[in-house]
């Protein structure tokens, strides 16, 4: 039977190299915190928020997901776009919004994890089964902006894309 060792003093020895690394780690954290703050509040970079949880199996039994696509909230100024990602396409694979409008994307998946990146914009997030990702953007120039899948989701990953057609004012 062993007896517990008592009377041993707890000594806190920190090696100088370790101390330097601890300081470095803290400095890096501070730099990250500052950059995130600048990105979020000064550059307007948004982190996609989890809008709501959904059941991917029954998602398309009811609105709005039974009819994904564009909803006009206010003509020429505010639109909501519902997109369902699936192996290996988006539903719908083309949406049309006017230039300059505030467009909020709601994206989810019914099978595996997909990506949703709209080229030439700050819209870039994951489409996750069970979660709705939401991000708002404004298209300043008319044209066609492709959205592509950025998460490897299977054999058809490379052909998974769609497009946002941004129409000119009054068009
Ligand atoms: Cu969907 Cu890659």
- Over 50: is that where the pLDDT of 1 sits? no
State pLDDT tens for residues 31-80.
999 988 887 777 666 666 667 888 888 888 889 999 999 999 999 999 99
Helix (H, G, I), strand (E, B) or coil at 126: strand
For all residues of the chain together, what is the average pLDDT? 88
Mean pLDDT within 125-153: 93
Q: For 19-101, where are the E strands, in sequence order?
A: 49-53, 69-74, 78-86, 89-91, 94-98
The string over 143-165, giving b where at least 16 C-beta atoms fall within 10 Å of a residue's C-beta and e elsewhere, is eebebbbbbebeeebeebebbbe
Distance, CA 71 to ligand 1 centroid (Å)? 25
- Which ligand 1 atom is at minimum distance from the Cα of 157? 2
Token pair recorded at residue 106: 């709601």
Q: Can you tell me the distance from the alpha carbon of 119 to that of 104, in angstroms, rounded to the nearest whole number?
A: 16
Distance, CA 73 to ligand 1 centroid (Å)? 29
Q: What is the pLDDT of residue 7?
A: 52
With beta carbons less than 8 A apart as the criterion, state whether 106 and 81 touch.
Answer: yes
Token pair recorded at residue 1: 């039977």
- Over 50: is that where the pLDDT of 13 sits? yes
- Cβ partners under 8 Å of residue 161, min gap 6: 90, 93, 146, 147, 148, 149
Query: In this structure, what are the phi and psi dihedrals at residue 6, rounded to the nearest 5 degrees?
Result: -120, 165
Q: What is the pLDDT of residue 165?
A: 97
Q: Is the CB of 90 under 6 A from ligand 1?
A: no
- Cβ partners under 8 Å of residue 141, min gap 6: 99, 166
State pLDDT tens for residues 73-129.
999 999 999 999 999 999 999 999 999 999 999 999 999 999 999 998 888 989 999
Distance, CA 97 to ligand 1 centroid (Å)? 24
Mean pLDDT within 149-164: 95
């Amino acid at each position: 039977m062993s007896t517990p060792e008592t009377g041993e003093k707890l000594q806190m020895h920190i090696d100088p190299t370790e101390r330097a690394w601890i300081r470095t780690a803290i400095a890096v954290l501070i730099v990250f915190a500052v950059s995130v703050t600048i990105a979020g509040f000064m550059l307007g970079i948004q982190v996609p928020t989890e809008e709501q949880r959904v059941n991917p199996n029954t998602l398309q039994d009811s609105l709005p997901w039974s009819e994904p696509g564009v909803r006009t909230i206010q003509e020429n100024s505010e639109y909501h776009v519902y997109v369902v990602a699936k192996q290996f396409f988006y539903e719908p694979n083309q949406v049309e919004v006017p230039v300059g409008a505030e467009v909020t994307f709601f994206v989810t998946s019914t099978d595996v994890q997909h990506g949703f990146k709209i080229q030439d914009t700050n819209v870039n997030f994951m489409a996750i089964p069970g979660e709705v990702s939401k991000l708002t953007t404004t298209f300043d120039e008319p044209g066609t902006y492709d959205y592509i899948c950025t998460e490897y989701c299977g054999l058809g990953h490379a052909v998974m894309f769609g497009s946002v057609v941004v129409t000119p004012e009054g068009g």
